[in-house]
Chains A and B, each alone.
Chain A
């Protein structure tokens, strides 16, 4: 199906384990983003990517790793999960990132991650 999909929708993992959250979009959008959402903080940017093989840190990148070998995929890896990384994670994509471009961001349905 067309759109942006995240998997898994729910994940429980243990402290210290590595976990990867997947994000796939079918529009060939250049920009992709990863956020975490916690009560009282809104959406905080973890990493973003302007194109394949181009990634950059956002507001809260520590403890996370991303890659973008293909335009349509943008996986997020927690190298050694901690309880503070318990959160809802959202992936988003947009065609452009400037006022002259179409900057509407489209979001996945989120992944609820619990680290125990």
Chain B
């Protein structure tokens, strides 16, 4: 059983649509990270959220850390084919642990 539960597992949308992926846990975290992994590559860090209720924006990507610091969400506005990838949430308490990820496909 993974400590971080991500949903949905798969998401396929048309270019221009919005999407949200979720990362949930029953545990409280000091911080959470979001990574994106493209096919054939290793994951790359997108953002680290630290404060409960925090909202961070990275161009069309909006990340939110829950008030209780148990969950996080990633919202993509007007998705583009370049957003296609595996989105992973993670926490680092001396052993960096990941959720199972959400595979996002944006169709042109």
Q: Which residues of A contact B (CB under 8 A)?
A: 31, 33, 35, 40-45, 48, 50, 56, 58-59, 90, 92, 94, 97-99, 103-110
Cross-chain contact of B42 among A42, A92, A99, A104 (Cβ < 8 A): A92
Q: What is the interface of chain A mostly: helix, strand, loop, or mixed?
A: strand
A69 to chain B, nearest CB (A): 21
> B96 is contacted by which of A40, A45, A99, A110 (Cβ under 8 Å)?
A45
Using known A-B contacts A42-B98, A94-B92, A97-B93, determine if residue A103 contacts B42 with beta carbons closer than 8 Å.
Answer: no
Number of residues from B at the complex interface, CB < 8 A: 27
Apart from A98-B93, A99-B30, 4 more pairs, CB < 8 Å: A42-B6, A48-B96, A105-B35, A106-B42
